[in-house]
Amino acid sequence: MSPYHAILGEAFDTLHPNVRRAHEAPLSAEGTFDVVHGTHRVTRILVALMKLPAAGTRVPVTLSVVFSPTRTHARPLTLRWERRIGRTPLSTHQYAHRGFLVEEQGPGRLVFSLRAANGCLLYEHATLRFLFLRVPPALSPRVWARVSPDPEGWHVDVRVEWHGHLICRYGGSMRASQAAP
């Protein structure tokens, strides 16, 4: 059972089939995103710290999702997400923990609440942790995402904000390619 199915339970089955496929392993996919950066003075710093993609239009994207071999009793089923958005690699591990989705990248952990709505999967920012310490909301960027059905696959929209200011927004259409290795 994927972390998403574990968190959503029966609501996972209400997701559009293309959206469900986008959250199952193994998966290889490709597509294009438009990436926009905000203009706030901390944008460059947060883009670099969070390893967000460079701004651009119709940026090529590849995705591989596989089961991670790092399975312990403390962290049950973990998926490794390997993305490349343009020249920017983004590698994270995702797993379910106490009803939330945890996405790890190095010493950082984004924690999301997941919700199914009208066939879409919504990721709602819950908290950010760095070195296992909760980053206070006043200092933390906030991340939201939506995965919705697309005729040939799925559409992704991700938004990163800090104090109501856009830091980075990216999104576009993805489609499954051959099976992941």
**What b-and-e string marks burial along 104-117, b requiring 16 or more CB atoms within 10 Å of the CB?**
beeebbbbbebebe
pLDDT over 50 (residue 180): no
Task: Report the predicted TM-score, pTM, of the whole model to 2 decimal places.
Answer: 0.92
Percent of the chain topping pLDDT 70: 93
Query: Within 13 Å and on the Cβ side, how many CA atoms surround 65?
Result: 18
Give the model confidence (pLDDT) of 68-127 as tens digits: 866 555 556 899 999 999 999 999 999 999 999 999 998 999 999 999 999 999 999 999
Contact 15, 116 (CB under 8 A): yes
Q: What is the signed CA dihedral for 164, 148, 9, 63, rounded to 10 degrees?
A: -90
pLDDT class of 181 with cuts at 50, 70, 90? very low
Contact 77, 2 (CB under 8 A): yes
Fill in the DSSP letter of residue 119: T
Which pLDDT does position 132 carry in this prediction? 84
Mean of the pLDDT values across residues 16-43? 96
More confident residue, 60 or 50: 60
